[in-house]
Amino acid sequence: GAGVSQTPSNKVTEKGKYVELRCDPISGHTALYWYRQSLGQGPEFLIYFQGTGAADDSGLPNDRFFAVRPEGSVSTLKIQRTERGDSAVYLCASTKQVGEEAFFGQGTRLTVV
Amino acid sequence: AQSVTQLGSHVSVSEGALVLLRCNYSSSVPPYLFWYVQYPNQGLQLLLKYTSAATLVKGINGFEAEFKKSETSFHLTKPSAHMSDAAEYFCAVSDPGNQFYFGTGTSLTVIP
């Protein structure tokens, strides 16, 4: 596609529910990143993929968070048993090669009530 | 490990004045350095990047940044601020083969 696409753009969920956030990277980009951005903060690294495998998942805050990229393109970030503290904007980015310029999507604003 | 420090979470300048946003990095290897801009309710947009070529890098919208290895700095400048420059600015570092680390951001306000 022309750019990184994230869906939904907004998600409101109740505490304890399960959510999935989707990222469709730029076609041909091998590396895909997930970041979380809280109000007034910089993007906080969660996980990145090189191809289908998670090359670094050290930023995932706990085992309620999981991400997949089964075919090396679209990625899904999954959050189980959501908590109010999970409320943030979740950003996805892709690069042609790891370490090169990252192109960001518009983000998914997750609100846990 | 890589890290980025942005001095000054809020910077205010008058329209037409010099913009200077500070960024210092820590990296054990020659880094790639980036400045991104984020307008309200929008995603991050690349302003410019340094990838070991010329130390003075020119970006979009009249911004530029100079890589100074001796000072481990990559400060962002613009000679004359415009009202449309009001936004959040993020400095980021990566090393080849690794992922990005962002600073906490600097909010730029332009006073008419």
Interface of chain B against chain A, CB under 8 Å? Answer: 6, 32, 34, 36, 42-46, 49, 51, 90, 92, 94-105
Q: What is the pLDDT of residues B12-61, one digit of tens each?
A: 999 999 999 999 998 777 788 999 999 987 889 999 999 877 889 999 99
CA distance A106 to B43: 4
Contacts of B1 in chain A (CB under 8 A): none
Question: pLDDT at position A6, please?
Answer: 97
Within 10 Å of residue A113's Cβ, how many Cβ atoms? Answer: 10
Nearest-by-Cβ selection for A99 from B32, B46, B105: B32
Q: What is the pLDDT of residues A50-81, one digit of tens each?
A: 989 998 899 999 999 999 999 999 999 999 99
Structure tokens that stand for A41 in this block: 């903060």
What whole-number percentage of chain B has pLDDT above 90?
Answer: 70
Contacts of A4 in chain B (CB under 8 A): 43
pLDDT grade, residue B72 (50/70/90)?
very high
Question: pLDDT at position B68, please?
Answer: 92
Nearest-by-Cβ selection for B105 from A35, A42, A98: A42
Q: Tell me the mean pLDDT in the region B83-110.
A: 89
Contacts of A92 in chain B (CB under 8 A): none
Contacts of A45 in chain B (CB under 8 A): 99-102
Question: pLDDT at position A99, please?
Answer: 67
Dihedral in degrees, nearest 10, Cα atoms B51, B56, B59, B64: 130
Owner of token pair 């290895």: B69
Mean pLDDT of chain B: 91
pLDDT grade, residue A87 (50/70/90)?
very high
pLDDT grade, residue A11 (50/70/90)?
very high
Question: In Å, how far are A7, A23, A61, A86 from A14, measured between CA atoms?
Answer: 18, 22, 19, 11
3-state secondary structure of B35: strand
SS3 content of chain A, % helix, strand, coil (to 5): 5, 50, 50
**Residue A19: pLDDT above 90?**
yes
pLDDT grade, residue A1 (50/70/90)?
low
Structure tokens that stand for A55 in this block: 């090359």
Question: pLDDT at position B31, please?
Answer: 82
Within 10 Å of residue A12's Cβ, how many Cβ atoms? Answer: 12
Which residue would you say has higher pLDDT here, B38 or B2? B38
Distance of CA A110 to the CA centre of its chain: 11
Question: pLDDT at position A41, please?
Answer: 85
Lowest mean pLDDT, pick from A60-69, A76-85, B71-80, B92-101: B92-101
Beta strands in chain A (DSSP E): 5-7, 10-13, 19-24, 31-37, 44-50, 53-56, 65-68, 75-79, 88-95, 103-104, 108-112
